[in-house]
Each structure stands twice: as C-alpha cells, then as structure tokens.
Structure 1
Amino acid sequence: MRLRALLTLLLAIPLLNACVDDRAAMDIDGTREHYLALVREQPLFWDKKVNLWLVVSRMPACLRRHSLGAGTENTRVEIWQVPSGAFIAKVGKRMYATESQTCTAWARLDEEPAEGMGELRGVFRVRNGELVFAAETPEASADKDE
C-alpha cells in the first residue's frame, strides 16, 4: 500500500511542473520598495488559463494585489505611465488604471483616456520560457519610429 502511494506521488510530480507560478517586477524609482510586479498563477496544469495579478508596492506605506483577469501563458502586459504618475496596465484590449501612492485605486477602463496613454514604461512578457519585464528605453522608442 505504501509503495502504491509513493509511486502515485512520484508519477504526479511531472504534472505539477507544468503549472505556471512566477513573477517579474518593474522598479518605479530605482528602489526595491517601490515597484509594480506581474504575478502569473495557473491553478490547474490541464487548463490553459493563467490568472494574472498586478502587485503595486511602495513600502512601507502600501502593498496591494489587483486582478488583471485571465490570460494565457504567453499573455503580454504593457505598463504605461500617465503624466499624473498613475499607471495603466494593458492586457490585450483590457486596460486597468492604478497608482502607487496609496496602492488602493484600481479601475477598469472601457477605452483609452482622452489625454492619451502616457509613456510606455515597458512590457511584461515571456522570454526564453521565463517571465521578464522589458523596460522601454528612449533608444527602443527611436528604433520604432524609423
């Protein structure tokens, strides 16, 4: 009986490895205390759905986790910063606004703000099988314009 339970457990281990559970962060002002992070969780290995969360942190003042809904393992999340300092997370066609002063403001946007999306700060994406944040640099923006 113990051998059967052990074999079942050993056979289940590769299945658990198929689940996604990772995170990547974007520093806001160059410190480890002030950042936005994307968390991806796939609760069921056979389900293609991955739950996406945006963590907003300005420690020690605030830390909050907001749902971005579901995506796939390869869903990209763009981070835009508007002139007021607020952030827009764009997941496909869905957009959410947040801020990092109190970390509590969170709203789904039905359309782009009238004043525009602001400045693209970067994109959370999967690169070589790993979730990373690719910062948008002035050089990268210039390359796109050419």
Structure 2
Amino acid sequence: MSEASCREAPARRDLLSRHVTIAKFTGLSDRPCRFRTALCPDRCGHATTTANFTVLRYLQYEKWGEYADEQATEFFFDMRKGQGTRPSTIHQDELVQRINLLQPGDSVQLSWLHEYVHQGGASFPERPVTQLEALPPGQSDAAPDQP
C-alpha cells in the first residue's frame, strides 16, 4: 500500500470510554507555545485557548479496555482545533458558539468520548465532545433528561 493511500484511508476508531456529566464551566485559558519545534512560536499553531470544566458528577460512564480514561474531575478542550469527525460530535463552530454564551460558574451537561484513532500509519487519542448544553440555574443538582 502506498503512503498516499494510507493517508486517504478512513480512520479506524476504537471507543475506549464514554462520559456523560454535569459540569461547571470554569472559564477559558490561554495556553502558550512551548517552543518545541523549529516553527515555534509564530508558525507552529501550538498556542491556543482551552475551555475548562470541573466535573460535578457523572450521569453515565462506560469503559471498554484497560487504557480507557477513568472518571474525570476536570475536562478541557481546544477552542481552535476540531473535535473529531464522528456524526455524534458537535461541529466545532457550534461548540465555540455555545462556549461563548457561557459565564464562569455556569452548569452544563457535558458529554465526550475517549477514542483511539488509527489513521495513515499513526495512532493517537481523541476526546470529541458529543454534548454541551447549558443548564438553567439550580438544575445542576437534578438529572436532566438523557438524549
């Protein structure tokens, strides 16, 4: 198989865990470049902004395989990079719009997957967000309806 056909092959995704939580939005954080490549700092794309959450409680947790993420107390994701290409994930633009409507301290129902992706001879983890819904004030103590 040629290198070009490896890059064009669809990704194989191994689902390792699924997380459905009630979380509190703690705000955005700037993550600077760590100056680890010759392209740093102005052409590498390493510097970014992350959306940060504290997990208040789990509504659902499923784990497959020994390398799956355990239940988390915190979760963050990159506001600039895509969250994966699964049909069940929220499109990156929509995700950013939802985050921009939140204030630190707001409660949300936050769900994500932990997947191990195999594509083009490389393997790497992804944690795409599958749900991000703001909860009305005071609803973080009550379990919202499941999708």
Q: TM-score per shorter chain, which class?
A: under 0.3
Which structure carries more relative contact order (alpha carbon 8 Å, separation 6+)?
A: 2
Query: Max radius of gyration: which structure?
Result: 1
Query: Larger helix proportion, structure 1 or 2?
Result: 1
